[in-house]
A and B are shown apart, each in its own frame.
Chain A
């Protein structure tokens, strides 16, 4: 129960390392449980999973071959340990649709989601934090009311509806932005890292960079809306608390301009809860990605899973869900550890 703030002065980095080690150990049963849940997706299908996967018209031979391939004839615990052993070797199974190893074909999809999520969180932070600050600064003004009403509507809005509205208004009616995909089909980006913004820069194709950014706008804003609303509300309440503090009044009394008081003194102290919310929202974006990517035909992990569901491609459904859940857990772990490092009032135990 030693604060990290204290640790920095005492040089007792041990406590932090001990805490991280403990959290990693606690993660083992969670990760095992996750693999078990994902493993059960096929096994819990009512009836004969092989029959359900292949459909009513499948031949007996095909069903038998699939049963053999999935190891469905073995006892469940044997199947689970085989599955775990394969996972440890990096084998995520094989897509039934493309007959490609999932571990190989998943990367471009992951990169696409990463790029979209990063873009969304940047928008959410810039707009959300500033809207929250201005709302707190001019508390009870028309801006404050308008921003908070918009934020309230933002958290109540289904992300897929917002996506469709954007597609219709900005894509179809105004034709400002493309409504689907990551790139111009006739002018494809040659992938290096699969993060197209970086790839176009690496390739020196700045004409393509503009196109790639244009494709990012609509899905990025749709995905950013809910985190933006939550960040704005959190920043506002956190700033309101800090703005009443003595040191803010002192800074004002000493004649410092309000802009610097707000952005330099108050924000520095109000940002801690905001940062934690930003961290948590980054994890939540992964869930939202599946809907946004479906609407905008964004070739990310969400769309990969969605298409797998349409084709009953269970190995892809399993591995896609497992990978996203794994990233989600890791982000939560990092946020948890950073909590204490950022905020000296939070203690590790």
Chain B
């Protein structure tokens, strides 16, 4: 008997050590996924660029040197110079701040508004659900870039309006996602119990339903940042987003079009920056999906 006690204690100790919450479990799974880690590394790299940009960029955003116009990449200008003799490398570093800002803030906006609408639709159902769901259907009936163009053509071209447009077009995606999660969660026993003990709707929504719907939102959010960055660049490219002289990557590509024949580097490097950032978020998003979505697990 005396020997069994320490044994059973040991067993309990071992169990305690390996027991994991769902988030820790997801983190362990994510950490093992090398491709996802590469993605997270790329994202971290661009985040650091965005934060430290002004300290590490060799030149200012608009420092012009007309005698150095359209110079190819060299030891002085790593990525060459543009039509105004501005250092493309420095402008790309500064541009990281704009692209990530648009990516993160537009997706946060869509998640907040989409979550509120999705929760209301899913939890209350009936006519509120019908109205909200039909509004989502209508918004999803437009190809996303076209809806963004429609919004910007109303509000006027600017980076801020492009951000609002991108946030608006992504609302239905998050709204639908949250709605479907709420619909399945609200039938769970713990929600019925919460109602039975007299818990108020708002408290049930925010302390039970919302936290339990978060995993797919994080996955979708990461992937949505990737598409938001491309959409912002597309609007910038069409002249509907950031305006000159902002070093927004899409706008830089639009400017590079004019000098494509003489200075292809002005087009190559901003494009690589967009592609790498988007690739980083896509890889990270795929990894998060594998880690957070139990259906994907073996």
Interface size on B, residues (CB 8 A): 43
Candidates A37, A46, A158, A295; contact of B142 at CB < 8 Å: A37
Tell me if B13 is interfacial: C-beta within 8 Å of chain A: no
B162 at interface, CB cutoff 8 A: no
Q: Is the CB of A161 within 8 A of B143?
A: no
Q: Is the CB–CB distance between B144 and A160 below 8 Å?
A: no
From the candidates A45, A167, A294, A324, name the one contacting B260 in the complex (CB within 8 A). Answer: A167
* Interface assignment of B47: CB less than 8 Å from any CB of chain A: no
Give the residue name and chain of the B residue nearest to A283 (CB).
B143
Which chain A residues (33-50) contact chain B, with CB distance < 8 Å?
Answer: 33-34, 36-38, 40-41, 44-46
Contacts of A314 in B (CB 8 A): 153
B51 on the interface (CB 8 Å rule)?
Answer: no
- A155 on the B face (CB < 8 A): yes
Total chain A interface residues with beta-carbon distance under 8 A: 47
> Which residues of chain B have a CB within 8 Å of any CB of chain A?
134-135, 137-139, 141-147, 149-150, 153-156, 226, 230, 233-234, 237-240, 250, 253, 256-257, 260-261, 264, 267-268, 270-271, 274-275, 278-279, 282-283
Known contacts: A158-B234, A160-B234. The answer to whether A287 contacts B144 by CB under 8 A is yes
Contacts of A36 in B (CB 8 A): 138
Q: Which residues does chain A contribute within 8 Å of B237, judged by CB atoms?
A: 158, 160, 291, 294
Q: A156-B275, A164-B271, A291-B238 are in contact. Are A305 and B149 (CB under 8 A)?
A: yes
**Complexed CA–CA distance, A153 and B237 (Å):** 20
Question: Do most interface residues of chain A lie in helix, strand or loop, or is the interface mixed?
Answer: helix
Does A83 belong to the interface (CB within 8 Å)?
A: no
B144 to chain A, nearest CB (A): 6
Contact among B144, B150, B233, B240 for A38, CB-based, below 8 A: B150
Cα(A46)–Cα(B161), bound, Å: 13
- Collect the chain B residues with CB atoms within 8 Å of residue A158's CB: 230, 233-234, 237, 250, 253, 271, 274-275, 278
Cβ contact within 8 Å between A41 and B153: yes
- Complex alpha-carbon distance, A284 and B144, angstroms: 9
Whether the Cβ atoms of A45 and B145 lie closer than 8 Å is no
Q: Contacts A152-B279, A158-B233, A165-B267 known; A284 to B256 CB distance under 8 Å?
A: no
Alpha-carbon gap, A217 to B257, bound state (A): 19
Given A37-B138, A290-B149, 17 additional A-B pairs, CB 8 A: A29-B137, A30-B141, A33-B138, A34-B138, A45-B154, A157-B275, A157-B278, A160-B233, A160-B237, A161-B274, A164-B253, A165-B267, A165-B268, A167-B260, A291-B234, A309-B238, A321-B149
